[in-house]
Structure 1
């Protein structure tokens, strides 16, 4: 067949790993992404290097840092289209713990409180219903590209420490369309007065 001749096929360098070894890596990457700890390219490459060293094998396609190079990484992504590289959004541990069940429970508790205190009329008055949303703007946002499932239409999130400095903005709107002036919270600075 004409399509099978070597001159007509694009040749790629073989992988550093056997197929079953790469499949273990794929499972690890997808599991970590699902749990909110996506794998960075550097972590993947260093893991492959360590695995090869531990098994007495040396990467065939080394770069200057003696790790599998860019061509191996790009080939890995081509061989496993279920994984893609994407920029991760930072998400604090507290925010990552929010679930649909917890949100429903919170609304049920609020409704119970309104009923116990005979305040249900508030829910029928749009001037008394407000929605507030807090947004944090990191002063040094660094998350980088991470690996995760291709089929995911959602953004990738990476849990980060909440200790980094940020400016927090609280925007609040009423159900009838009025805007409350935003509240800004700046990083805490201790001031000493003499």
Structure 2
């Protein structure tokens, strides 16, 4: 999975890089601490392997919380609850967060065209 840089982040990174390396750049880059939209358009034309893509929408909690320890803790808690309350299989229901959005709208990011999944 690749996360990419947003358009604004890429423009600021390019400006910071040019300033740090004492490149001859337009005064507006220093004043705005960012390149211009024309530079970015030209950058994408020069680097045809890159494009602006919309990342897959994933909630922050899902992206950061799905790890081995949290999954193990979940199943340990589930086992404990089932044993304490003697739930029968026919009394266990599956529920989800339908109607309750936890995913924010993602800005487009600069990513490789060959990347299958962005975000």
With the length of structure 1 as denominator, give the TM-score of the two structures. 0.42
Q: Classify 1:152/1:42 alpha carbon distance in 2 versus 1 (closer, same or farther; 3 Å).
A: same
Count of residue pairs brought into register by the alignment: 106
TM-score normalised over the length of structure 2: 0.62
Partner Cα distance (1:146, 1:51) in 2: 19
Runs of 5+ consecutive residues of structure 1 not aligned to the other structure: 1-29, 157-194
Higher helix share: 2
Give unpaired runs (5+ residues) of structure 2: 27-33
1:145 Cα deviation (Å)? 0.3
Greater strand share, 1 or 2? 1
1:43: which partner in 2?
9
What is aligned with 2:109? 146
Match of 2:77 in 1: 109
Matches within 5 A, 1:61-100: 67=36, 68-76=39-47, 78=48, 81=49, 84-88=51-55, 89=57, 91-92=59-60, 94-100=61-67
Displaced runs of 4 or more, over 6 A? none
Task: Report if the CA contact (8 A) 2:6-2:108 is conserved.
Answer: yes
Given the superposition, is the C-alpha separation of residues 57 and 103 from structure 1 closer, same or farther in structure 2, using an over 3 Å criterion? same
Q: CA deviation at 1:66?
A: 5.5
Higher relative contact order (CA 8 A, sep 6+): 2
Across the aligned residues of Structure 1 and Structure 2, the Cα RMSD in angstroms comes to 3.3
